[in-house]
Amino acid sequence: MGAGHDHGGQALRAGAKHRARLWWAAGLLAAFMVVEAIAAFATGSLALLSDAGHMFTDVLGIAMALAAIHAAGRAATDSQRTFGLYRLEVLAALANAVLLTGVAVYVLIEAVRRFSHPPEVPAGWMLVVAVGGLVINVIAFALLREGAQESINVRGAYLEVVGDLLGSAGVIVAAGVIAVTGWSYADPIVAVIVALMILPRTFALGRSAVRILVQAAPEHLDMASVRDRLARVPGVCDVHDLHVWTLTSGMDVASAHLSLEPAAELGTVLSEAREALHEDFHIDHATLQVEPAGAGTKSCEAVGW
């Protein structure tokens, strides 16, 4: 027997709500990415090149976020995809993390090469482009901030924009140092600092995505507490085969077998168990199987989980 709320529809509507902001952010970043890439090759600045590469992953990440939202919307009407395609959002977030890690590693390798012979970089043009990048990233940051709280996919794009914002600030510092002192090492040093700032955030994002894909229990939930709470529902004498996992951002799913006392009222137990999961753990989709007391072990022998 199952009990749940329309949480999948809520997640889909949340994605659609942020679609326009994602499009605006992608357009602004894509336009300036071209400008920054041209400036990076023209000036020979590694810091600008790293920022342009990072901005490319921003654009690609947002594009994947939009594709995931679109695909999830179409799958919602497909009877063969009973959970829709919400996992596309998680896959897109994982791809973002991998891409951003690749950019960071490339910048680190290139910076090491440049430490031996740092090229001359025109600080004036470097400063102008970096300030423009900072402004664009601040706008994108504002556009994505709200959605980052609701979606792991939007959060991936948001984190990339945050990293890029810091990168633009670093390029401004490097341009200032070069303009004032002529010290060319500022360019690869800032590039290294930006790359090192990127890696911890991408690791956290990738870890969150992998946890969802392997169907690990959500980090914020204590499984023992979930089991104990279900066991305290009047009429329940045992809880087994309890599983809780995350389908996509903000959508935790549970399944459990409940052994009932002989006098237990089936409908009342299911209703109270569902409300307990919803109120105490914010689990809005639960599939609950009920069994007579003593039947649980025999009925679950074939399951090796």
Higher pLDDT, 29 or 57: 29
- DSSP lists the bridge partners of residue 259 as 238, 291
Task: Determine the pLDDT at residue 142.
Answer: 86
Task: Determine the pLDDT at residue 66.
Answer: 76
- Is residue 271 very low, low, confident or very high in pLDDT (cuts 50, 70, 90)? very high
pLDDT at 77 over 80: no
Pair 151, 212: CB distance under 8 Å: no
Task: Determine the pLDDT at residue 55.
Answer: 82
Provide the residue count of the chain. 305
User: How far, in Å, CA of 215 to CA of 217, rounded?
Assistant: 6
User: How far, in Å, CA of 144 to CA of 86, rounded?
Assistant: 19
pLDDT at 27 over 80: yes
- Is residue 83 very low, low, confident or very high in pLDDT (cuts 50, 70, 90)? low
Pair 285, 7: CB distance under 8 Å: yes
Higher pLDDT, 24 or 242: 242
Mean per-residue pLDDT over the chain, rounded: 81
Higher pLDDT, 20 or 134: 134
Task: Determine the pLDDT at residue 8.
Answer: 43
Q: What domains does the chain contain, in order, with CATH numbers?
A: 2-213 (1.20.1510.10), 223-299 (3.30.70.1350)
Over residues 88-106, the mean pLDDT reads 82
| Cβ-based neighbour number of residue 300 at 10 Å | 15
pLDDT at 185 over 80: yes
Judged by phi (left if over 0) then psi (alpha if -120 to 50, else beta), residue 27 lies in alpha
Task: Determine the pLDDT at residue 6.
Answer: 42
- Is residue 82 very low, low, confident or very high in pLDDT (cuts 50, 70, 90)? low
Residue type, 240: H
Pair 270, 171: CB distance under 8 Å: no
Over residues 29-35, the mean pLDDT reads 92
The 3 state secondary structure assigned to the chain is CEEECCHHHHHHHHHHHCHHHHHHHHHHHHHHHHHHHHHHHHHCCHHHHHHHHHHHHHHHHHHHHHHHHHHHHHHCCCCCCCCCCCHHHHHHHHHHHHHHHHHHHHHHHHHHHHCCCCCCCCHHHHHHHHHHHHHHHHHHHHHHHHHHCCCHHHHHHHHHHHHHHHHHHHHHHHHHHHHHHCCCCHHHHHHHHHHHHHHHHHHHHHHHHHHHHCCCCCCCCCHHHHHHHHHCCCCEEEEEEEEEEEEECCEEEEEEEEEECCCCCHHHHHHHHHHHHHHHHCCCEEEEEEEECCCHHHHCCCCCC
Lowest mean pLDDT among 100-114, 235-249, 258-272, 273-287: 100-114
How large is the angle between the packed helices 7-17 and 46-75, nearest 10 degrees? 140
Tell me the pLDDT tens digit for each residue of 125-161: 889 998 998 999 899 888 888 777 766 667 777 877 8
Exposed e or buried b for every residue in 25-59, given b needs 16+ CB within 10 A? Answer: bbebbbebbeebbebbeebbbbbbbbbbbbbbbbb
- Is residue 278 very low, low, confident or very high in pLDDT (cuts 50, 70, 90)? very high
pTM (two decimals):
0.71
